[in-house]
Amino acid sequence: MTGQDGTSASPGEPGVTGDLFSPACPTRQLLDRIGDKWTSMLVKVLAEAHPEELGFAQLRRCAPGVSHKMLSQTLQSLRRDGLVTRRVEPAVPPRVYYALTDLGLSLDAPLAVVRTWAERHIATIERARIAFGKEHDRG
Amino acid sequence: MTGQDGTSASPGEPGVTGDLFSPACPTRQLLDRIGDKWTSMLVKVLAEAHPEELGFAQLRRCAPGVSHKMLSQTLQSLRRDGLVTRRVEPAVPPRVYYALTDLGLSLDAPLAVVRTWAERHIATIERARIAFGKEHDRG
DNA sequence: CCGGATCCAATTAGATACTG
DNA sequence: CAGTATCTAATTGGATCCGG
Which of A5, A40, A114, A127 to mutate: most B Cβ within 10 Å?
A114
B2 lies in some domain? no
Q: Confirm whether any atom of chain C, the nucleic acid strand, is less than 7 Å from CB of A115.
A: no
Most confident range (mean pLDDT) of A21-25, A32-36, A133-137, B62-66 is B62-66
| Average pLDDT along chain A | 83
Percentage of residues in chain A having pLDDT higher than 70:
80
B34 lies in some domain? yes
Q: Confirm whether any atom of chain C, the nucleic acid strand, is less than 7 Å from CB of A95.
A: yes
More confident: A91 or A59: A59
CB atoms within 10 A of CB B50: 16
Give how many domains chain A has, as a whole number. Answer: 1
Q: Confirm whether any atom of chain C, the nucleic acid strand, is less than 7 Å from CB of A96.
A: yes
More confident: A75 or A2: A75
Spans in chain B with pLDDT lower than 70:
1-24, 137-139
Alpha-carbon distance B14 to nearest alpha carbon in chain A (angstroms): 6
* Section A46-62 average pLDDT: 95
How do residues A3-30 score in pLDDT, each as one tens digit?
333 333 444 444 444 455 565 677 788 8
Alpha-carbon distance values, A25 to A32, A78, B108, B119 (Å): 11, 19, 20, 11
C8 C1' to A69 CA distance, Å: 15
B18 lies in some domain? no
A68-80 vs B102-137: helix axis angle to the nearest 10? 80
B21 lies in some domain? no
B17 lies in some domain? no
A20 lies in some domain? no
Residues near A3 by beta carbon (within 8 Å), at least 6 away in sequence: A18
Q: What is the pTM of this model?
A: 0.83
How do residues B83-123 score in pLDDT, each as one tens digit?
999 999 988 889 999 999 999 999 999 999 999 999 999 99
Q: Which domain covers residue A37, as residue numbers?
A: 26-137
A49 lies in some domain? yes
**CATH code of the domain in which B131 resides:** 1.10.10.10
C14 C1' to B119 CA distance, Å: 30
A19 lies in some domain? no
Q: Write out chain B residues lying below 8 Å of A34, CB-based.
A: 35, 114, 118
